[in-house]
Amino acid sequence: MSSFDLAVMGLKNLLRRKARTILTVLGVLIGTASIVVMVSLGLGMNKAFEQQLESYGSLTMIDVYANNYYVEGQTNSDGQVYLDDDTINAIEGIDNVEFAIGFKRFDSKIYAGKYESYTSIKAVDFDKLALMGIKLSEGTLPTGEFKNEVLFGFYAKNYFYDPKSRNPYQSPPVIDVFNTKLEMLPTSQYYEGKRPKGFILNVTGVTSELDYNYANDVFMDYDTFLKLKNDFERKNKTTDQNNGGDTGPKGSKGSTTKENKYDEMKVSVNDIKYVQDVQDQIKAMGYEAYSLTDALENMKQTSGLIQAILGGIGAVSLFVAAIGITNTMVMSIYERTKEIGVMKVIGAQLKDIKRLFLFEAAMIGLFGGILGIGLSFGISLIINSVLSGMNGNTGYYGPAILSDIPAWLALSGMGFSTVIGLVAGYYPAVRATKLSALEAIRTE
Amino acid sequence: MIEQTSELSSQKTIETAPKDIVIDIKELRKVYKVGGEKVVALNKIDLLIYRGEICCILGTSGSGKSTLLNMMAGLEKPTKGTIQIKDQAMEKMSEKQLAIFRQKYIGFIFQSYNLLPALTALENVAMPLIFRRFNKSRREKIAKKYLEMVGLKERYKHKPSQMSGGQQQRVGIARAFVGSPEIIFADEPTGNLDTKTSIEVMHIMWKMAREKNQTIVIVTHDPEVALYADKVIHIRDGDIQSIEVRDGNDVYEKYIKPYEENYVEI
């Protein structure tokens, strides 16, 4: 029997028993829809997690710290590692690392007319900063075109206050950093009255409000800042006594002891799948390394568990549907005993009969699957429009997508329901082939 | 037993030309167990059927004639003995092999027609060809030819429920013959029909089988059906009582024609 004839015959048989076929298909439909919607919720959750994490920072970035950064002074202890340019070179030598960038925070004060701010300067290599893909809301990244260029975190603008005001912190002024003369002193020292002359800053850009990563930072090129700082310290020797906590790199004073040139480094990895590996290698070098993949892993584990539970609930209904298919096919065999017997006697092969029943069962599964996917898209649409609408006001961290049905889920949903149909139809199909032709053609 | 074999061998010598043996049954026995009790359906059957023979197994109900037919068609396994059809031992074949064998060599006509109710006459007749993987246009062409042969040219599109018993049986006959099988088994083909229709049906079967030299084995309790046979096997209580052999060439003149004419006169 050719496959085409078999398909025609099978479809005719299904159409002959419309009511029962429709009811069985309905069972599969509900089963498929419930499993797909459940998985889609899990996927939506995953997607929301990822979006959320990405708003915290890039998922391909690893933060690196020296291991015992807080135990300064024990410079000769074994295993002591430092964050310096050698480290950057070493880390950039690891496979799949795009670049490593170091940061160091220096105490500083910024004056804007009558306002001032104790914003520290984050010294960084501007060439590498350009690689970070920092999003800006205004201006450009530092170009090196101007003197003393800085990049402002969007929130750092709000730290200015008027020291002479009675309530200096109550209503922070809105400073237009581009058009205001900003003067920076590379020290956190408090000056009563007259203060030493600082350095005029050129703000090239402000970071985007969508990225909280760099919100509070004011970036300045490392070498530029160091030069300013040295200049400043040379001119104001007497103020040195106050620089207790953070003295800056001593390497510049010609000392041979190694020092942390940076407090912190970020390492960019070319693909998220290598992040864990690179992170492990950096840890093996003796550094502390953190990445959002840690958090992502945790979240994925959690959401995987939730998905499994949700999918399990869906699977139960699909299982019930599978029993429905088996039941329908067994009933069909009882009804068609005579027909099967006649077919056997007039020349049907056993495999023809088996294939016919398997085909009918698979078709019930496939129809149920297709309609179930359709229903799932509908439900998903409703969930997303109704529920995420409710979430809309909770801020930009709220997930926009609660239910996500990617193409692979839709296709595998259909495939799965078809396979369920085949599996459910197997027992009835085998039974049909074992039916005695004699029994079938008895005249009584 | 010895008498029977001598009878069979003498029968062979009567024939002018050597004939192919199509069905060879030896010491066939079938015992059913009904509620712990043994019921002997067939005791000991020896039978030879030749190519092109129209055989009639005649017996009352319970004589074991249907059991014999079922075993020849491979629908039941014998308790003992052998059935060779075309030199193949039916009792040794698996279900799968039997299905292939039936498809190749055997056509079947049922008492209650057993047409598939959802299909038209044409589709019913074409059914065996579907299993032989004939394409649609080819099998419909052949099926139409056979429907025409049984006189149902105008009824291609009719469903079984729209046809009389005689018409349904003629569709059944067309279905049995459509694959040109060498052997056709008919189980009480006129059992549900009146005499006039029975004559029509038997005439068609006889004519079609003769034309292509096909072998027919008919099981019946109706002696009038036996008039169409070249060989009548009388069976009673599981044993062959007698075998009546006629010269195939004058069966029509001697038996069928007078019978049919006689009936029309009445």
Q: Is the pLDDT of residue A439 over 80?
A: no
Q: Could you tell me the residue ranges of all domains in chain A?
A: 3-57+298-441, 61-291
Structure tokens at A310: 């949700």
Residues of B with CB under 8 A from a CB of A: 70, 73, 75-76, 95-96, 99-100, 102-103, 107-108, 110-112, 114, 116, 118, 127-128, 130-133, 135-136, 175-176, 179, 187-188, 191
Tell me the average pLDDT across A323-350: 90
- B75–A347 C-beta distance less than 8 A: no
pLDDT digits (tens, 9 = 90+) for B184-221: 999 999 988 999 899 999 999 999 999 999 999 999 99
Domain B50-76+92-265 sits in CATH 3.30.565.10: no
| Range name among A25-34, A98-107, B54-63 with the lowest pLDDT average | A98-107
Residue A182 has pLDDT above 90, yes or no: no
**CB contact at 8 A, A266 and A98:** no
Higher pLDDT, B10 or B153: B153
Which residues does A409 contact at the CB level (< 8 Å), separation at least 6? A36, A39, A40, A43
Band of the pLDDT at A317, cuts 50, 70, 90? confident
Whole-number pLDDT of residue B55: 94
Q: Over chain A, what is the mean pLDDT?
A: 81
DSSP state for residue A385 in the 8-state scheme: I
Is the predicted ipTM greater than 0.85, yes or no?
Answer: yes
Reported as a pLDDT band with limits 50, 70 and 90, residue A43 is: confident
Q: Where are the domains of chain B?
A: 50-76+92-265
For residues A58 and A12, the model is more confident at A12
Residue A224 CA: distances (Å) to CA of A120, A233, B248: 15, 14, 122
The two three-digit tokens of residue A213, written as one number: 């990563």
**Reported confidence tier of residue B4, pLDDT bands at 50, 70, 90:** very low
CA B116 to chain centre: 20
Those residues with Cβ within 8 angstroms of residue B200's Cβ, 6 or more apart along the chain or in another chain: B166, B170
- Chain B residues with CB inside 8 Å of A438's CB? 70, 75-76
Give the chain A residue nearest B75 (alpha carbons): A438
Determine the distance in angstroms separating the CA of A347 from the nearest CA of chain B, rounded to an integer.
Answer: 4
Strands B183-187 and B215-220: parallel
- DSSP secondary structure letter of residue A383: I
Find the closest chain B residue to A351 by CA distance: B96
- Give chain A's contact residues with B (Cβ, < 8 Å): 1-2, 5, 9, 12-13, 16, 338-339, 342-350, 352, 433, 436-438, 441, 443
Least confident segment among A118-122, A342-346, B77-81, B99-103: A118-122
pLDDT category, A212, cuts 50, 70, 90? confident
Give the residue-averaged pLDDT of B160-170: 93
* Nearest CB neighbour to A348, from listed B107, B131, B136: B131
Choose between A375 and A401: higher pLDDT: A375
Indicate if the alpha-carbon torsion angle A49, A55, A59, A64 is positive or negative.
negative
Q: What mean pLDDT is predicted for residues A409-424?
A: 93
